[in-house]
Amino acid sequence: MKSTTFVILWTILFVLFGFYVNNKLYDFTEGYKDNISVLEKSIENEDWEKAQKEADSISTSWNKEKNHWYKVLNHEYFDEIGLRFNILDKAIYTENKLKSLEEVESIKTYLGNIIESVKFDVNYIF
């Protein structure tokens, strides 16, 4: 009886922890998507100085915060986002609107891929 209770308790705790991590990861990526949208507006308006400041702020924040998730999730997406931020920084510096917007969309896509890779859904079980 004790072992059954122990197994059930640990299973419940494990599932609850999974939902907690999923929720925190969702908040993490959505925060960056919101910040990227502000950056995108600056690029569309060709306000390059503001865009550069936004990009630097987001990139610095990303490099600090990614380390928490880097250890437990597929870090391929995190590496790709870091690369895209570097390319975006150069595109903003050269005031290349098309390339900047392209990199913004790439970053948004990779942020979405992070969520999709850990999503709790029946489609990902079977």
Domains and CATH numbers, the chain: 22-124 (1.20.120.290)
Quickly state the pLDDT bin for 49 (edges 50, 70, 90): very high
Q: What is the pLDDT of residues 31-48, one digit of tens each?
A: 999 999 999 999 999 999
pLDDT digits (tens, 9 = 90+) for 88-113: 999 999 999 999 999 999 999 999 98
Residue 39, exposed/middle/buried by CB under 10 A (0-12, 13-18, 19+)?
Answer: buried
